[in-house]
């Protein structure tokens, strides 16, 4: 039996740094870095751990991830089960097309902040199937839970028919999804009316020590995988913050982490946050006291000063936002996050999405073209790569021919590295007299969407802040694990989220969501409410003393 240690760390307490310190000690006593395993739920978390471990142990991080055991839980099962890539259903376009053909409808896109918002009815049905399998429960139980809180839930008969078609065509086409991989490794066979146990597939690796990160987000299924992975190891380090568990909609529960059999002497709480000063920690803990399972972890605030302020969505807070400063602008749903983005766009403040998706400020090809044309206009030289970008984005119109015939095709096939030219010599690269006139008269500025806004931002904020703005906008789920000097939290919620809090489990989860949101702030936290919408705001933000 392995020695199991449980490490609980609040927001900003340095859980990853602590883990690397433990790894250091294992290396000192002779452990092989290639026999140390690190598992988390996101590629970003695994990459960060591999990069830091590789630097510390003088091992290529790519080797740790590719040949070792620094992987996401799903990637670990994929490797141990030796699954062929062509059989796996992923979130890529090819898989989405296969699903659409199998069930007769597109499924939509994933939105962790509101899983129903961007899904079709068939997509909702499959999302509930994912949830039921994660919970190791009958499909009807997952459907019943959803239908009680969200009127967008399709009928049970419809949902069941979608799942049956999905599973039918998986068998016909020899396909599996990632949840199937977890089930196979843990020893479960999924059926619509429940699960049945069967002999697990795949080997249990000979790993000396496992570091299982973000365990508060484990479901019954992923917890079973983690327990099997660790059967042959000497040490298991479980790392979590039970009060940052915010994926209950997909079956996650902090109870799985808390239920591991750990000796009291092997339990440790990291009590010093290095991120959140006193006002922010006080607010965060005050929110958590609303949870039915709250207990005081004794988190001590960071030594630096900080503040918590109140404002309204259309208030003056936005005048403080600068793209050359560290800002996170957070909302509960993507709909509300988009409202924040529109306010920033109205003031021409560059920003980036914290999760998936692009906006007008995250358009590198377009912006490269604008900067290249601006350089030519100013008599400066451009590179071959920049010229190729111009060729792809400037089209002939009104009888004007800007490039010699075949220029674009020629440049797409040549090695453009190390090449330089300016407007005076652009004919050598295929630019015509019409193109030279286009640049000299500034007429090109009307040919590329967003040119005027981008150039205004360059003038106001400079190149670095415009090209790589430090302002990020997203949902609470998309910023989990992130931090910023300044955080703005829009408290507006949907009526579905409000209804979801009718159950104790839903109420507790929303308190944890709020805690995650406010503890992203290192210095300044601005709580933004709607002017007359207290009932539709995050409940624990109203009337609190901070």
Nearest Cα residue to 341 out of 185, 469, 150: 469
Between CA 171 and CA 281 the distance in angstroms is 51
Buried b (16+ CB within 10 A) or exposed e, 494-528: bebbbebbeeeebbbbbbbbbbbbbbbbbbbbbbb
DSSP letter, residue 444? G
Q: In angstroms, rounded to a whole number, what is the distance separating the alpha carbons of residues 178 and 280?
A: 38
Residue 366 tokens read as 């377009």
Tokens of 471: 């302002």
383 is in an annotated binding site: no
- Which residues make Cβ contacts (< 8 Å) with residue 401, sequence separation at least 6? 432, 434
The verdict on whether residue 30 carries a ligand-binding annotation is no
Q: Are 219 and 255 in contact (CB under 8 A)?
A: no
Distance CA(7)–CA(23), nearest Å, equals 14
Dist CA 98 CA 105 (whole Å) = 10
Q: Which residues contact 526 (CB under 8 A, 6 or more apart)?
A: 308, 309, 310, 311, 317, 486, 487, 488, 489
Q: How far does CA 277 lie from the centroid of its chain?
A: 25
9 known member of a binding site: yes
Residue 10 among known ligand-binding residues? yes
Question: Which residue(s) pair with 482 in the sheet?
Answer: none
Structure letter (DSSP) for residue 272: B
Do the beta carbons of residue 79 and residue 37 sit within 8 Å? no
* 359/420 Cα distance (integer angstroms): 31
The verdict on whether residue 13 carries a ligand-binding annotation is: yes
Do the beta carbons of residue 182 and residue 107 sit within 8 Å?
Answer: no
Q: Per the annotation, where are the binding residues?
A: 9-16
Q: Per the annotation, where are the binding residues for ATP?
A: 9-16
């Amino acid at each position: 039996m392995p020695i199991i240690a449980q490490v609980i760390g609040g927001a900003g307490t340095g859980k990853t740094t602590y883990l690397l310190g433990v790894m250091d000690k294992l290396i000192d006593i002779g452990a092989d870095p290639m026999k140390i395993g690190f598992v988390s739920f996101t590629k970003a978390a695994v990459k960060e751990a591999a990069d830091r471990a590789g630097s510390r142990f003088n091992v290529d991080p790519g080797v740790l991830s590719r040949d070792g055991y620094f992987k996401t839980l799903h990637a670990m099962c994929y490797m141990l089960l030796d699954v062929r890539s062509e059989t796996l259903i992923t979130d890529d376009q090819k898989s989405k097309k296969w699903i659409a053909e199998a069930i007769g409808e597109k499924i939509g896109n994933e939105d962790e902040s509101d899983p129903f918002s961007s899904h079709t009815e068939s997509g909702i049905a499959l999302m509930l199937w994912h949830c039921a399998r994660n919970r190791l429960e009958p499909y009807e139980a997952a459907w019943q839970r959803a239908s009680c809180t969200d009127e967008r839930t399709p009928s049970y008969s419809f949902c069941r028919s979608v799942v049956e078609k999905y599973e039918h065509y998986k068998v016909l086409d020899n396909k599996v999804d990632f949840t199937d991989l977890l089930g196979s490794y843990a020893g479960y066979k999924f059926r619509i009316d429940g699960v049945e146990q069967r002999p697990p597939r795949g080997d249990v690796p000979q790993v000396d020590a496992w570091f299982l990160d973000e365990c508060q987000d484990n479901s019954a299924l992923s917890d079973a995988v983690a327990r099997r992975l660790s059967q042959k190891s000497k040490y298991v380090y479980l790392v979590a913050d039970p009060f940052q568990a915010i994926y209950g909609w997909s079956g996650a529960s902090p109870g799985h982490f808390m239920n591991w059999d750990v000796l009291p002497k092997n339990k440790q709480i990291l009590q010093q946050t290095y991120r959140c000063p006193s006002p922010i920690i006080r607010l965060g803990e005050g929110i958590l006291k609303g949870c039915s399972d709250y207990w005081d972890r004794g988190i001590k605030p960071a030594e630096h000063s900080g503040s918590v302020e109140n404002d309204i969505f259309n208030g003056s807070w936005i005048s403080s936002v600068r793209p050359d400063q560290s800002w996170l602008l957070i909302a509960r749903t993507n709909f509300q996050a988009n409202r924040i983005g529109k306010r920033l766009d109205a003031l021409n403040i560059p920003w980036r999405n914290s999760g998936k998706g692009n906006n007008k400020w995250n358009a590198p090809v377009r912006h490269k073209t604008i900067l290249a044309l601006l350089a030519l206009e100013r008599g400066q030289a451009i590179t071959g790569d920049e010229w190729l970008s111009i060729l792809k984005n400037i089209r002939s119109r009104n009888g004007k021919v800007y490039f010699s015939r075949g220029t674009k095709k020629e440049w797409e096939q040549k090695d453009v590295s190390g090449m330089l030219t300016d407007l005076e010599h652009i004919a050598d690269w295929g630019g015509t007299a019409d193109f030279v006139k286009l640049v000299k008269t500034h007429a090109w500025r009307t040919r590329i969407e967003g040119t005027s806004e981008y150039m205004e931002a360059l003038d106001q904020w400079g190149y670095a802040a415009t090209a790589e703005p430090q302002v990020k906008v997203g949902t609470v789920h998309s910023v989990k694990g992130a931090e910023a000097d300044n955080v703005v939290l829009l408290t507006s919620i949907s009526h579905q989220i409000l209804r979801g809090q009718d159950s104790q489990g839903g109420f507790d989860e929303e308190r944890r969501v709020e805690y995650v949101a406010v503890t992203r702030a290192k210095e300044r936290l601005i709580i933004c409410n709607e002017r007359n919408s207290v009932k539709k705001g995050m409940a624990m933000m109203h009337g609190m003393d901070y």
